[in-house]
Amino acid sequence: MQEQAHIARNGPVVILGGGLTGLAASIASGAEIYEADEAVGGIASSDHSEGFAFDRGIHVMQAVPARIRKLLDDAGVRLNVRNRRAFIYSHGTYTPYPFQVNTAGMPFGVRVRCVVDFLTRPRGSRPENYEEWIYQSVGRGFAEKFQIPYSEKFWTVHLAK
């Protein structure tokens, strides 16, 4: 059994897991966190070995609202600011990431399909899993042309799971 890292806070609720979700919930509620690992951070943390840092997941904040920036400043976190130039190679062309707001350059038929499917996407029912959430959020075109294959590769599991 790994030693439990324990952040002392007072409250009637306890939080299992000190990843970003647990840390945010603790800030909002003041509840105690119990973390199975030796340190908090979960997927967003890094492992250190022989002077090198190995990130468990990519450490990128796509946007930093003022409130979050203050939170990070108060915690002593220093951000490196970079201008991102990320592209998706699809249908013989490079489209700026994220795909769902950058269809310029894609074949006309694909662009029409994505936009029409977005406008007519199913809405109203509660998504049961990430795949359903994607269909409801961006529609079939964006979902099947990019979001689903990208996310399956990213998370390495079927999105219904």
Structure-derived torsion over alpha carbons of residues 114, 158, 23, 72, reported in degrees to the nearest 10: -50
Instruction: In angstroms, give the least distance from the CB of 58 to ligand FAD.
Output: 4
Residue 34 binds to ligand FAD (criterion: CB under 6 A): yes
| Distance separating alpha carbons of residues 41 and 97, to the nearest angstrom | 26
CB 95 within 8 A of CB 87: yes
Q: Which of 13, 14, 27, 43 binds ligand FAD (CB under 6 A)?
A: 43
CB 48 within 8 A of CB 55: no
Residue 63 binds to ligand FAD (criterion: CB under 6 A): no
**Burial environment of residue 10 by CB neighbours within 10 A (0 to 12, 13 to 18, 19 or more):** exposed
Residue 132 binds to ligand FAD (criterion: CB under 6 A): no
Nearer to ligand FAD, 26 or 106 (CB): 26
**Which residues 2-21 are close enough to bind ligand FAD by CB under 6 A?**
16-21
Residue 58 binds to ligand FAD (criterion: CB under 6 A): yes
| Distance separating alpha carbons of residues 139 and 122, to the nearest angstrom | 7
Residue 25 binds to ligand FAD (criterion: CB under 6 A): no
Instruction: In angstroms, give the least distance from the CB of 20 to ligand FAD.
Output: 4
Adjacent-strand bridge partners of 6: 34
Nearer to ligand FAD, 4 or 120 (CB): 4
Query: Given the rule CB under 6 A, which residues bind ligand FAD?
Result: 16-22, 34-37, 42-44, 57-58, 60
